[in-house]
Amino acid sequence: MYTIKTLNAISPVGLAKLPANQFEIDNEAAAPQGILVRSADMHDAPLPDSLLAIARAGAGTNNIPVEDCTSKGIVVFNTPGANANAVAELVVGALVAGSRNLVDAVNWAQTLKGRDTIAKDVEKGKKAFVGPELRGKTLGVIGLGAIGARVANAAVALGMEVLGYDPYISIDAAWSLSRSVQHCVTLGDMLPRCDYLTIHVPYLPTTRHTINAQTLAMCKDGVRVLNFARGELVDNAALLDALNSGKVAQYFCDFPPRAAGRQGCLLHAASGCQHAGKRDELRRDGRRRAERLPEKRQHYPQRQPAGCQPAACGRPPHLHHPQERPGRDLGHHEHFDRSAPEH
C-alpha cells in the first residue's frame, strides 16, 4: 500500500483513478511515498526519505525542486496537456469578456439594483460599455503548444486573423493548427500587427519578462494583452507604464500583478483576485525561483527574416521553413524551449 499526500486540492475524479487496494490518500502523512501537487511551492519543503515520486497536476514543474529530486532518486511526473482545453476556454472567455467590457458592464449594472427606472437606465448607459468585435481583428499567439494551438484555432473560428510565433513548435502541434494561422519567424514580425496578444510559453530564465518595455513598444497603441501561462512572463512595471500611457488598453490574466485592481486590468476571480493581498510575497517567490533555475542562454545565428507567411499546400506553418530559427534581435526574451511545457 502506497501513501499519497496532496499539497493542493486535487479533483476527486483524478484521485479515483488510484486503485483503492494499492493507494491511500493521507494529507497528514509525515512519510508519504508519493505527493500530488498543483501550485504549491515545494522548493523549501522537506523531501522525506520515504518519498518515491512527485506528480504535478499540470505541465510546468518550476514549483518542484527537480534537481534535488534527481539527486535523491525521486521521480517527478507532470501532466502536459491535461488542462489544455480548460485554459484555452478561459483565454477565449477573457478575449470576449474583455473586448466587450462585460466585467465593467456587470459591475455597473449591479449599482442599479432597486431602481424603478432600471430598464431606462440600462438602455441609456449601455453605450458606455461598447467594445470592439473580435471578427476581423488580429490576434498574436506566442507559443503554439497544446494550449496556444487551441487558442489559435478558436480565434480563427471567431473570424480573427491569427499570427503564431513558436520557434520550437512540435510536429503534433503544428499539424493540429488551422491552415489559416500565419507563421511569424520573429516577434518583430508579429507584434506591430496585433490588436490582441496572448502568451503560452513555459517559465524559464530565457522567457522571464518576454513581455517587457521593449516588446510592448513594438505593439500597436491600445493592444490588449492576455497572460494565462505564468505571471513571471510579464514585466509588471513595464505593463503598468503601458496601461498608464494607453499603449496597452487592457491586460487579462489569472495572476496578481502590480496592476491588480487598476482600470483595464482584468483578473480571473478564481485565482488572481483572491490572492491580490499577497502579490508582494508572490513576486518574491517568483524571483527566488528564477534565481534557482540554471541560466541556460542559447545563441542562434540570425536567419534571413521571412516575415509572416500563411500555411499552404496543407502543410503546417513551421514546415515551410524547417531550417530557420529566429535570431536574438529582441534579446534573450524571444527564445523558449518547447521541451518544457507551457502550463
Sorted by where each starts, the structural domains of the chain and their CATH numbers stand as 2-77 (3.40.50.720), 84-334 (3.40.50.720)
| Residues listed for the chain | 343
Given the C-alpha cell 497544446, which residue does it identify?
Answer: 146
Is the per-residue pLDDT at 245 higher than 90?
yes
User: Cα separations (Å) of 190 from 36, 88, 200, 309?
Assistant: 39, 21, 15, 11
Judge whether residue 337 has pLDDT over 70: no
- Name the residue type at position 56: R
Q: Where are the beta strands (DSSP E) in the chain?
A: 2-6, 23-25, 34-37, 53-56, 75-77, 138-142, 161-165, 182-184, 196-199, 223-227, 248-253, 265-267, 308-310
Strands 182-184 and 308-310: antiparallel
Question: Residue range 281-303: average pLDDT?
Answer: 38
Cα–Cα distance list, 65 to 49, 69, 77, 298, 343 (Å): 15, 6, 12, 23, 17
Question: Cell numbers at residue 260, please?
Answer: 491588480
Measured at the alpha carbon of residue 148, what is the angle toward residues 173 and 194, in degrees to the nearest 5? 125
User: Is 161 in contact with 171 (CB distance < 8 Å)?
Assistant: no
Check: pTM over 0.85? Answer yes or no. no
- Taking the mean position of all CA atoms in its chain, how far away is CA 325? 23
Rounded average pLDDT over 142-150:
94
pLDDT at residue 280 above 50?
Answer: no
* C-alpha separations of 7 from 26, 38, 73, 330 in Å: 11, 7, 20, 39
CA dihedral 66, 67, 68, 69 (to 10 degrees): 50
Query: Taking the C-alpha atoms of 204, 179, 174 and 191 in order, what is their torsion angle to the nearest 10 degrees?
Result: -20
Lowest mean pLDDT across 161-165, 290-294, 300-304: 300-304
d(CA 272, CA 259): 11
- The predicted pLDDT at position 147 comes to 93
Contact 189, 213 (CB under 8 A): no
The angle, 0 to 180 degrees and rounded to 10, between the axes of the packed helices 84-99 and 102-110 is 60
Q: For residue 269, is pLDDT > 60?
A: no
Q: What is the pLDDT of residue 82?
A: 79
CA 284 to chain centre: 19
Q: Three cell numbers at 19?
A: 486503485
Amino acid sitting at position 179: R
DSSP helix/strand/coil, 129:
helix
User: Per-residue pLDDT for 289 more than 50?
Assistant: no
The rounded mean pLDDT for the chain is 79
pLDDT value at position 14?
86
- The answer on pLDDT for 222 being more than 50 is yes
Give the residue, 211 or 58, on which the prediction is more confident: 211
